[in-house]
Amino acid sequence: MKILVTGGAGYIGSHTVLSLLNNGYEVVVYDNLCNSSEVSLQRVQQLAGNTVEFVQGDIQDKSALTALFKQYPIDAVIHFAALKAVGESTQLPLAYYQNNVHGTLCLLEAMQVANVHQFIFSSSATVYGEENAVPYVETMTLGTPSSPYGASKVMVERVMADVALANAQFKGVSLRYFNPIGAHPSGQIGEDPKGIPNNLLPYVAQVAVGKRDKLNIFGGDYPTADGSCERDYLHVMDLADGHVAALDWLIKNEQFTGVEAFNLGTGTPVSVFAIVNAFEQATGKTIAYDVAPRRAGDLPAFWADANKAKIQLNWHASRTLQQMMEDTWNWQSNNPNGFDS
């Protein structure tokens, strides 16, 4: 089967492309490279011993999407192409709605014209909002997220539900994942943010490699065990394997139509201070940090109930926190400037 992966040159996308290739799928990647590098796909091909078709383009470009679906016999789509920084989204809400919501509409329209109906969406735990209690369970009502980023994910999930009501052929999966970290154990691919990292571990790793002076920990007075935010961190390769498991599930369940949501997480919250400590222990590096004011859009703590994915997808996060730290450092130390090293 030939799978279209939008945003496939990015962090989660590239690891998922590798997992797809290793599981016998053919892959077409569509990416505008705004926050990614084509070098990641070159390395994925080397690791997999297989090739990837790459098309550079934007998901808001309807004519390019139409041409893409005419050129390739696509069987299913895994959609990663989104802006993803919670804090940045509060400063640039229009850009986030334009790319994440309007871009997804363009993609779904192109799929409909091309008669492609299998769709896996890269969603987020932020769709549960502030109203729901932790741990988050898929049966909870979609919440009101505290950021435009989270709101854009809620909007797309609602669009998917409405598309499924209107089109009996539509088969959608929304993967609500938590905080992916780590890198492929080879050290060849990993997270390579453009500019200043918005996510915790890439910033920690850049401090360790000497690229940044110190880490800012946003908020040390949250109602948590040590005062810092708690998140459900999972290894990016576990997350990548979760996308393949969801795709396998979609394909095997031929009678299924509609939209199904799955949490992908470990089910265990870890604090920011604990992440820093784990990184120091795994690498022998000391991380300088300051505690800074809270960041807009951040919640004190959230984590997954991932039992549904375990039962229905036969998936669970198996890699340890130490592996996440070691693989991150293996990537960063071998690629101090990311894919430009």
Mean pLDDT of 132-141: 97
How do residues 75-98 score in pLDDT, each as one tens digit? 999 999 999 988 889 899 999 999
Please say whether the beta carbons of 174 and 160 come within 8 A: yes
Distance, CA of 330 to CA of 327 (rounded, Å): 5
How do residues 305-316 score in pLDDT, each as one tens digit? 999 999 999 999
pLDDT value for 86: 84
How do residues 160-207 score in pLDDT, each as one tens digit? 999 999 999 999 999 999 999 999 999 999 999 988 898 999 999 999
Q: Is 292 helix (H, G, I), strand (E, B) or coil?
A: strand
Q: How confident is the model at residue 146 (pLDDT cuts 50, 70, 90)?
A: confident
Distance, CA of 123 to CA of 247 (rounded, Å): 15
Whether the pLDDT of residue 341 is over 80: the answer is no
pLDDT value for 71: 98
Please say whether the beta carbons of 119 and 81 come within 8 A: no
CATH, domain 2-181+233-264, list 3.40.50.300, 3.40.50.720, 3.40.309.10, 3.40.190.10 = 3.40.50.720
* Identity of the residue numbered 101: V
How do residues 268-302 score in pLDDT, each as one tens digit? 999 999 999 999 999 999 999 999 999 876 889 99
pLDDT value for 151: 96
pLDDT value for 280: 98
How do residues 32-81 score in pLDDT, each as one tens digit? 999 999 999 999 999 999 999 999 999 999 999 999 999 999 999 999 99
pLDDT value for 234: 98
Arch. (CATH architecture) of 200-231+267-301+319-340: Alpha-Beta Complex (3.90)
3-class SS shares of the chain: helix, strand, coil, % to 5: 45, 20, 40
Domain definitions of the chain by residue range:
2-181+233-264, 200-231+267-301+319-340
pLDDT value for 298: 80
Q: Are strands 270-271 and 230-231 parallel, antiparallel or unpaired?
A: antiparallel
pLDDT value for 195: 87
Whether the pLDDT of residue 246 is over 80: the answer is yes
Q: Which residues belong to the active site?
A: 149
